[in-house]
Amino acid sequence: MTVTKYSNLKYMTLTLDNHVAIITVNSPPINVIIPEHWVEFFNLSKELRDDTDVRVIVIQSNTPGYFMPHYSVTSLAQIAGTAGIRGGPALTLDYIGSTAEVLRTMGKATIAIIEGRVGGGGAELSYGCDMRFGASGKTIFCQPEVAIGITPGAGASARLARLIGRSRAMEICLGCMDIDAETAEKWGIINRAFPPDQVRPFVYNLARRIASFPVPAVKATKECINRADMGTDVVSDIIFDQNAFRKTMSTKEAKVAMDAFVAAGGDTDKVESRLGDACGELGQALKL
């Protein structure tokens, strides 16, 4: 359903169902990022972060052939070669990087469905999401910045180096070439590439599944993974994980979920032989 409190959006729409917020980018004809577009996205990301009714965020586009290709080069060209960039003009590159960081750090799962071309700031937004899924034959990544004389300005270099390694980050950022869905999956840019008619059903099911699990456990687990991703030493990361475990163990949600798991046959072959499916059923049954 469309959510009334978010109904004044101009460049995207939002629906909320079963604690899953689905943002659909709507900036025709090809979703090129303009300043107003990104200010709206930044403000929306903060509101969703603070909305206790939202547990998972999915970002998608209904524009055929495009997720978000990049920031408007027309806007960039107007100040290129001048000193205007130094004073913090309304490029909204800061908004792009900041939005990606809000998505990365919020205590909720964030997922991008990329079914078309994505590059520049659009790709940098997706790199901030916890997960990305693509469509075979449709998903194409491209970082075009170096070809037009600049560097990626909202996190592609930093995030790709961590996500897929130095050499592949160099190939993408310096080569400015198209990367198809299969290569993106192989390299780890996206989690998986599905046939086009399967990607949304899979992601929607995954989002609802995560949203059904105890909120403190999702939040704490994401914090642990984010910390490990920063490259801190493994021993301190494990200690951090152990402290998060103790914290979540004390929550009422954990007690309710564990009792229900045992009652359903946990710790026996009845459940353990089909554990993944059983976890999904548990989340739906608890309705926490």
Query: Consecutive sets of 10 residues in the chain, 288 residues long: mean pLDDT of each?
Result: 70 94 91 85 94 97 91 72 49 70 95 94 93 97 85 84 93 92 98 98 98 96 91 73 79 85 82 80 78
Tokens of 92: 């909204």
What confidence score (pLDDT) does residue 195 get? 98
What confidence score (pLDDT) does residue 244 get? 78
How far CA 254 is from CA of 181, 261, 268, in Å, comes to 38, 10, 19
Does 172 share its domain with 40? yes
Distance from C-alpha of 18 to C-alpha of 207, rounded to nearest angstrom: 9
- Residue 12 near residue 44, CB atoms below 8 Å: yes
The residue from 184, 210, 236 where one domain ends is 210
The residue from 164, 189, 210 where one domain ends is 210
Does 173 share its domain with 245? no
Does 184 share its domain with 116? yes
What confidence score (pLDDT) does residue 148 get? 82
pTM: 0.87
CATH number of the domain that residue 185 is part of: 3.90.226.10
Helices (H), the chain: 35-50, 73-77, 93-105, 120-128, 156-164, 166-175, 181-187, 196-211, 215-229, 234-249, 252-263, 269-272, 275-286
Tokens of 132: 């990305």
What confidence score (pLDDT) does residue 203 get? 98
